[in-house]
């Protein structure tokens, strides 16, 4: 039985967003009003209906076109005559400039509804891949739990690949440039900027009521005593493969330690660095950890260790990338983020990493298609 989504907040948790919302009207476009085939790429170029849905999810204050370089790479490398995947740039959290600040659960519920509508519009779909950039990776993880059913499907589709790029799986504020901000100022900032920032800074827990921060709950197993909790880890395990891309250095928002959920892995990745052009440093397979998750601890470091062990309880592929230089601009370059001409030019050096990401995604897609063909021949 599919997990039931919790109701989204009826008002913004950010005083700043609420104030600006009163000062000016914002165009509200909910996922329920999504027009057919929006941002789905060139699926019509193939005579075969699409079977595989790729959903690409932008990050904080992002726009759907941020991930258009990846969509183009996915469509370009497909061979002629093959069924093109349906590559969709998610729009659910782009309806106004502050949509991504009202909390991960609210944004994930909008994303889940958008995916449901896409699946309903395309009855030929059978497989699902989720790609999340930055905060979009957390939206995708939460949405997968909302859409998960006990038969192992997500939104009624067979989950194939879950991939994130520069996603703060362990939160922010401990390892990135944000660590330079004193803790008291982080607390104040989280209250002013909204629920999403509070969750990313691990400031949303309530020790008096025994409620842990959201990101910690998202990396924990469900207990029999709490049947209302969502199947966060079960839904991740349902994917055939899981992949994280992390910037080794120069990411001012999401450091390697949190993007790769390796809070104590700095020495290893720094040892791989050298000068030269932007490039992929390595891809490696990480087997499930066998360490016992430690008991609850209230410090950010203790919570990050628990989150890393929870997420590490399943197999992952990890790719570390390097954008050398003196400026910390890697966060947007890892996806060759496109928006306006200046940002597109500034981040174009990430094209090689985007191609690598597309190849990693399509390799798993090819394996799935060959398995389907083989099963059909043997039936």
**Model pLDDT for residues 159-182, shown as the tens digit of each residue:** 999 999 999 999 997 765 555 555
User: Over 90: is that where the pLDDT of 354 sits?
Assistant: yes
d(CA 253, CA 272): 21
pLDDT of residue 279: 86
pLDDT at 347: 97
pLDDT at residue 230, as a whole number? 94
Query: What is this structure's pTM?
Result: 0.84
The two three-digit tokens of residue 248, written as one number: 């080794």
Does the pLDDT value for residue 248 go beyond 60?
Answer: yes
Distance CA 238, CA 242 (A): 10
Poorest-pLDDT segment among 4-8, 83-87, 238-242:
4-8
Please give the share of the chain, as a percent, with pLDDT higher than 90: 56
Residue 96: its pLDDT value, please?
86
Report how far apart, in Å, the C-alpha atoms of 112 and of each of 6, 153, 313 are: 11, 14, 25
- Token code pair at residue 277: 């052009």
Question: Which secondary structure element, helix H or strand E, spans residue 158, and what is its range?
Answer: strand 158-165
Is the model's pLDDT at 91 over the cut of 70?
yes
From the candidate CATH numbers 3.40.50.1820, 3.20.20.140, 3.30.1360.200, 3.30.499.10, the one assigned to the domain spanning 30-378: 3.40.50.1820
- Mean per-residue pLDDT over the chain, rounded: 81
Q: How far apart are CA 345 and CA 339, in angstroms?
A: 10
Other Cβ atoms closer than 10 A to 3: 20
**DSSP codes of every residue in 236-255:** HHTSSEEEEEEESS-BSSS-
Query: Could you tell me which residue, 317 or 31, shows the higher pLDDT?
Result: 317
**Nearest Cα to 242, choosing from 169, 180, 306?**
169
Q: How far apart are the C-alpha atoms of 17 and 193, rounded to whole Å?
A: 8
The string of pLDDT tens digits covering residues 252-308 is 899 999 999 998 766 455 556 666 778 898 899 999 988 777 666 678 888 999 999
C-alpha 378/C-alpha 271 separation (Å) is 48
Mean pLDDT of the 111-126 span: 97
Q: Which residue has the higher pLDDT, 95 or 288?
A: 288
Strand order in the sheet with 52-57: 86-89, 52-57, 127-133, 158-165, 241-247, 316-322, 279-286
Question: What is the pLDDT averaged over residues 205-216?
Answer: 85
As a whole number, mean pLDDT of residues 153-160 equals 98
Instruction: Please report, in angstroms and rounded to a whole number, the separation of the first and last CA atoms in the chain.
Output: 29
pLDDT of the residue at 209: 77
Specify the pLDDT at position 26. 33
CB 350 within 8 A of CB 278: yes
Side-chain-facing half-sphere of 280: CA atoms under 13 Å: 18
Which of the four pLDDT bands, split at 50, 70 and 90, describes residue 6? very low
Average pLDDT rounded to a whole number, residues 189-204: 80
**The pLDDT of residue 241 is above 60:** yes
């Amino acid at each position: 039985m599919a997990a039931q989504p919790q109701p989204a907040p009826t008002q913004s948790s950010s005083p700043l967003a609420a104030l600006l919302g009163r000062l000016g009207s914002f165009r509200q476009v909910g996922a329920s009003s999504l027009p057919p085939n929006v941002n789905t790429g060139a699926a019509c170029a193939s005579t075969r209906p699409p079977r595989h849905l790729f959903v690409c999810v932008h990050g904080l204050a992002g726009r759907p076109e941020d991930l258009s370089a990846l969509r183009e790479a996915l469509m370009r490398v497909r061979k002629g005559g093959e069924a093109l995947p349906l590559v969709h740039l998610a729009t659910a959290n782009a309806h106004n400039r502050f949509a991504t600040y009202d909390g991960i659960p609210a944004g994930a519920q909008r994303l889940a509804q958008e995916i449901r509508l896409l699946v309903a519009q395309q009855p030929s779909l059978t497989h699902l891949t989720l790609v999340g950039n930055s905060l979009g990776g957390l939206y995708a993880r939460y949405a997968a739990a909302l859409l998960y059913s006990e038969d192992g499907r997500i939104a009624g589709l067979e989950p194939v690949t879950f991939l994130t790029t520069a996603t703060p799986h362990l939160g922010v504020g401990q390892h990135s440039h944000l660590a330079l901000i004193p803790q008291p100022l982080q607390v104040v900032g989280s209250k002013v900027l909204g629920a999403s920032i509070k969750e990313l800074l691990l400031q949303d827990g309530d020790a008096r009521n025994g409620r842990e921060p959201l990101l910690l709950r998202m990396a924990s197993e469900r207990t029999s005593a709490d049947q209302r909790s969502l199947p966060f880890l079960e839904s991740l395990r349902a994917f055939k493969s899981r992949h994280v891309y992390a910037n080794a250095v120069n990411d001012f928002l999401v450091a390697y330690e949190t993007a790769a959920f390796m809070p104590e892995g700095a020495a290893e990745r720094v040892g791989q660095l050298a000068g030269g052009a932007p490039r992929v440093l390595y891809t490696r397979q990480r087997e499930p950890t066998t360490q016992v998750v430690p008991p609850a601890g209230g410090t950010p470091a203790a919570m990050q260790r628990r989150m890393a062990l929870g997420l590490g309880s399943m197999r992952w592929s990890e790719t570390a990338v390097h954008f050398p230089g003196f400026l910390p601009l890697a966060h947007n370059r890892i996806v060759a983020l496109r928006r306006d001409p200046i940002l597109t030019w500034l981040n174009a050096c990430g094209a090689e990493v985007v191609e690598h990401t597309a190849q990693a995604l399509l390799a798993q897609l090819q394996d799935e298609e060959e398995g389907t063909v083989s099963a059909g021949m043997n039936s």
